[in-house]
Structure 1
Amino acid sequence: MRFEIASVLSGDDNYIGLDEKLVGYNGDSDLSKPFFSSVYKDTFHRKLEDNENQEAPLMPREVLLKNGNGGSRPIKPLQFRYGRITGEIMRRRNRTSEFSVLERMADEAWTLGLKAWDEVDKFDVKETVSSNVYEGKPESCPSWLSMSGEELANGDRLMFLPCGLAAGSSITVVGTPHYAHQEFLPQLTRRRNGDSLVMVSQFMVELQGLKSVDGEDPPKILHLNPRIKGDWSHRPVIEHNTCYRMQWGTAQRCDGLSSKKDDDMLVDGNLRCEKWMRNDVADSKDSKTASWFKRFIGREQKPEVTWPFPFVEGRLFILTLRAGVEGYHINVGGRHVTSFPYRTGFTLEDATGLAIKGDVDIHSVYATNLPASHPSFSLQRVLEMSSKWKAEPLPARPVHLFIGVLSATNHFAERMAIRKTWMQSSKIKSSNVVARFFVALNPRKEVNAVLKKEAAFFGDIVILPFMDRYELVVLKTIAICEFGVQNVTAAYIMKCDDDTFIRVDAVLKEIEGIFPKRSLYMGNLNLLHRPLRTGKWAVTYEEWPQEVYPPYANGPGYVISSDIAKFIVLQHGNQSLRLFKMEDVSMGMWVEQFNSTMTVRYSHSWKFCQYGCMEGYYTAHYQSPRQMICLWDKLSRGRAHCCNFR
């Protein structure tokens, strides 16, 4: 039988003294009572089963940990100045077909995570991360790139742009759209008397940023979507948009009508949408009369030419995407077709990937006038290594609120923005409120190496040694609960994401409005929500057999009382906690179970914003680092106003 050590690293300096001895643990190295006593036991390797009474995944109660002398074997701490290893010796079962999908994911993530952390420990950060990247030296990149259609197809239809784009860069795509094919859309069944087949021909050209977490799409800095057939308007359309953390912005649709010529609507002097021929639009009688009158009096008139829609099924096209000063400009066949203004928060230098997908055959792609260097790759520009941003040691006394922030390994900019903004609130600086980031590992060892250095310096990161996946976020939530009740003894625990801005004072005031001895579940609550059974975020009946979810608060920000957190930790410790891949639904499920024996106060407020921001918000979601700085600036001046840009 094979044994391995499961470890958890905390970014708090107070765990290890200057003499490298554990603080507060009687001077020995026996960590058989770790502060993450249950999260990293054999729960990764037990079968999730359905229970007839609960009708949801349930953890069986068999204890599979091998104990020595009636307890866990002691684990010696790793010699890190910023943390300590805590965990249990984990007994691995032989892999069998009995494992659930979630269990297999966790098993693989755990194995890869332990291996990744061992690799990081063997390398010095300056060796692992190139000095050019870490020290801010410009990284040399090619000024042009080209790919054939075959090369693009073999690379998952993705071209890597190592230094992104700059003003003046251009990308030329030569391709041929497919002929329309039938697609089944069940939502049209009622509208069309049972006919839900649609003829579709469309493709997408996207400038993408770096992907951060498995299960989460990379940000779309530009989404260009020509729809030859299949749009709901029943006419050819070109749609433009952006997408950050899987949240789409407002689409710009060009449907053959010319956009306004007002100065504030132009992009580098170009129309956002040029006019093209449409069967349902004809020149008005007045315009024809005016045209004849101008010709009659001899006034010079510039001839107006209206071209057909630039994309045709089965016909070759040459599309050029050019980065201007104010936005992107799209030309097809040498003619300007559309322009799309840049959106704040989406920068050209972040556009490190070109993806082309959909109903199109690509023959060749050319990228020219590319920047020769990418200084913003320097983490020195993101991680501001200043002592004023360091976290205070954990207080010895109980705290009122503990905030656990879910973050991805390479979200250095997001964490730095939080350190500079709401983590500077007076309640946190006075240690009445404590906040920590919870981060799993990345497939790239150089990213993990920089994360290790970041955690060592700032002291505010809890590193969880498994490979990050969207489906395993629930494990981070359990870790937050355990840290909140066992490390800081918090009265209330709040979970949020690293793109969530928190008005700490407002959240505390809302909590204080609740009778202090009541169990509390507070946030933007959802009632009678149904699982999606189709699409990317589909939930199978095996995963969730019920027709509706229990009441649950949206994941970007919610609060629970410590008695609920203790219940979660206890249930997880005895292997009876039900797990589900959607962490906010999981929390609703756990609170519902707790509520069956102890009355819970469900407190709902729209001000825990799920999408974006609203005036007087408690939390604002999908906020970029620049928006975080803007919100903090407004809040510092006494105004809880939104920064509605990206």
Structure 2
Amino acid sequence: MKKKGELDVFVSVSRKRAVQLLVGVGLLYVILVGLEIPFVFRTGFGAVSHEGLNGLMGDALPLSFQLASEEDMEERTAPIRPLQVPFRVSQGLVPQGARQLTEYSGVSGLKFGHLDVNVSGKDGFSELEKTAKVAWDIGKKLWADLQSGKIQTEINKNGDARPESCAHSVALSGPEFLKRGNIMVLPCGLTLGSHLTVVGKPRSAHPEHDPKISLLTDGDESVMVSQFMLELQGLKTVDGEDPPRILHLNPRIKGDWSGKPVIEQNTCYRMQWGTALRCEGWKSKADEETVDGLAKCEKWIRDDDDHSESSKTTWWLNRLIGRTKKMTVDWPFPFEEGKLFVLTLSAGLEGYHISVDGRHITSFPYRTGFALEDATGLSLNGDIDVHAIFAASLPTSHPNYAPQRHLEMSSIWKAPSLPNGPVELFIGILSAGNHFAERMAVRKSWMQHKFIRSSNVVTRFFVALVSQGT
């Protein structure tokens, strides 16, 4: 009984000590939490996540920061729009000039300062990393130019320059055209009624071992090809890219995959070709859409025999003997190797009209996205010797060729402000810096849909900067 009593006393004392120890640990925990609370509120919850993601995100921004709404951004103006930067709500809105722009310079977790990326070589870096490095360097230089005012000075200097005069007509001889790189500049583009005349001679066919308009058959090492390209180009429409081909006229005398002479027409914008219009010697169907009342394609003799002369003789005999029935004559393909031709291209109300040696050959309707004044250059390349080029009835006033002309600074085209709560869908649109027309088209079309304009969907543009400008 005595041993049992001593055991009870020992257990009771042990329980008291355990309770006291537990209470002490609890008090210590409360004290530590109390000391940490001011630190958490002072540094923000992003510091905790920042430590947990160290090495993965680098200098990434804290997750608790949010971008200010467009209304808040409008209250803070800057002398030059490109210098405006995203503002963080958590830091509060401060008067203009109170904070320096350098405070917000770290907006990306990528670091290239310590990396020696060889853009042209194979050094273990992916193409994406190399492209990002190029964009980083170009953007850094552009940012420095913006802050120094160099770009604004160049803009003012270009604005003071006198514009090139608009000639009513332009004429070039063959040697002059060749000296200018096979391009005739039309300073103010075209207008309704403008016409271009080309006097030239197709060259004889030559062998091509890697033909672009045909395929090599078994056993053949080359294909005989004779073709040339006449193009209306928008030399002032884009910046840093190949000019768009507003009209691409490609007579293929020999070498087409069909084995017959054809005339192919098309357009190309930002390296994207449209649907080609091929004239293969058959007249357009009667129920097919016309261009200013003219057929898109006229008929010509498709085979290579000489019955065209007999056809012309029969036509004249029928006229002489007084036949009242309307007679038609079939003409050969309008272009022939080694024979001079006179091609006239005129701008109509609905499209371009092409005539050769006084006969209408084809008409190409205008396509959406191009205007007559955009056609500021005429180029001729391929198997052709140009003797002379004439352009007449040209506009005498200057249109606006600046890519920014598509911008409409109206509040109705702005994206909705960022909501305070979570969103159901975020749409990111990748775009090059000089694609003003494309961005305005997006703003005016599906971005005006009621679901996009609602507060549950956010749409934003990501404007890229790479070496090719696309």
TM-score bucket of the superposed structures, by smaller chain: 0.5 to 0.7
Post-superposition offset of 1:239: 1.1
| Structure 1 contact 139–373 (Cα < 8 Å) conserved | no
Indicate the SS of the match to 1:399: coil
Give the structure 1 partner of residue 386 of structure 2. 362
Q: CA deviation at 1:221?
A: 1.7
Identify the residue that residue 469 of structure 1 maps to in structure 2: 469
TM-score between the two structures when normalised by the length of structure 2: 0.66
- CA change 1:113–1:392 in 2 (3 A) is same
Amino acid at match of 2:267: T
Change (3 A) 1:310 1:110: same
The answer to whether the 8 A contact 2:284-2:296 is kept is: yes
The separation in 2 between residues aligned to 1:152 and 1:297, in whole angstroms, is 49
**Of Structure 1 and Structure 2, which has the larger fraction of its residues in helix?**
2
Q: Following TM superposition, by how much is the alpha carbon of 1:162 offset from its aligned partner in structure 2, in angstroms?
A: 2.7
1:202 aligns with 2:227: yes
CA deviation string 1:147-171 (max 9, x = no partner): 3334433443222223221121001
The 1-side partners of 2:379 and 2:141 are apart by 28
Q: 1:149 to 1:111 in 2, by over 3 A?
A: farther
Cα displacement (A) at 1:278: 2.8
Cα offset, 1:129, TM superposition: 6.4
Alignment RMSD: 4.6
Q: Give CA-to-partner distance per residue, 1:357-389, whole Å, 9 cap, x none.
A: 222222332211011224454889632222222
5+ long unaligned stretches in structure 2: 1-66, 79-84, 93-98
**Deviation readout 1:555-593 (Å, 9 max, x if unpaired):** xxxxxxxxxxxxxxxxxxxxxxxxxxxxxxxxxxxxxxx
The equivalent of 2:76 in structure 1 is 18
| Structural mapping, 1:220-619, within 5 Å | 220-262=245-287, 264-279=288-303, 299-375=323-399, 377=401, 382-440=406-464, 468-470=468-470
Change over 3 Å in CA distance of 1:226–1:113 after alignment to 2:
farther
Shift of 1:114: 4.9
C-alpha contact 2:428 2:462 (8 A) present in aligned 1: yes
> Does the aligned pair in 2 maintain the 1:188–1:194 contact within 8 Å?
no
Aligned to 1:628: none
Counterpart selection for 1:35 from 107, 128, 136: 107
Inter-partner Cα distance in structure 2 for 1:122 and 1:398: 39
**From 153, 157, 166, the counterpart of 2:182:** 157
Q: Is the 8 A contact 1:161 1:354 kept in 2?
A: yes
Residues 1:171 and 2:196 aligned together: yes
Tell me the alpha carbon deviations over residues 6-62 of structure 1, each in whole angstroms, 9 at most, x when there is no partner: xxxx997556963889544648656477232317756684566466xxxx83799xx
Q: Distance in 2 between matches of 1:103 and 1:383?
A: 28
CA distance, structure 2, for counterparts of residue 265 and residue 253 of structure 1: 15
Larger Rg: 2
Q: Which amino acid aligns with 2:231?
A: E
Question: C-alpha distance in 1, partners of 2:205/2:423?
Answer: 62
The answer as to whether partners of 1:406 and 1:438 remain within 8 angstroms in 2 is: yes
How much has 1:339 moved relative to structure 2? 1.9
Shift of the 320–296 alpha-carbon distance from structure 1 to 2, 3 Å rule, reads closer
Between the aligned partners of 1:362 and 1:212, the Cα distance in structure 2 is 28
Q: Does 1:123 align with 2:152?
A: yes
In 2, the alpha carbon distance for the partners of 1:424 and 1:148 equals 52
Q: Deviations over 1:380-418 (max 9, x none)?
A: 963222222233444454433333323333332322222
Select between 14-23 and 141-150 the one with higher mean Cα deviation.
14-23
| 1:212 equivalent among 215, 238, 246 | 238
Is the aligned partner of 1:57 residue 2:126? yes
Higher mean alpha-carbon deviation, 398-407 vs 180-189, is at 180-189
**What is the number of residues matched between the two proteins?**
384
Distance 1:180 1:200 in 2: 5
TM-score by length of 1: 0.50
Q: By how many angstroms is 1:200 displaced?
A: 0.8
- State the identity %: 50
SS of the aligned residue for 1:123 comes to helix
Q: Deviations over 1:533-568 (max 9, x none)?
A: xxxxxxxxxxxxxxxxxxxxxxxxxxxxxxxxxxxx
Quick one: distance in 2 between partners of 1:428 and 1:296? 73
CA 222–32 in structure 1, closer or farther in 2 if over 3 Å, else same: closer
Deviation of residue 252 (structure 1)?
1.9
Q: How far apart, CA to CA, are the structure 2 residues paired with 1:385 and 1:33?
A: 27
Q: Distance in 1 between matches of 2:257 and 2:443?
A: 44
> Amino acid of the residue matched to residue 469 of structure 1?
G
Task: Report if aligned partners of 1:242, 1:249 keep a CA contact under 8 Å in 2.
Answer: yes
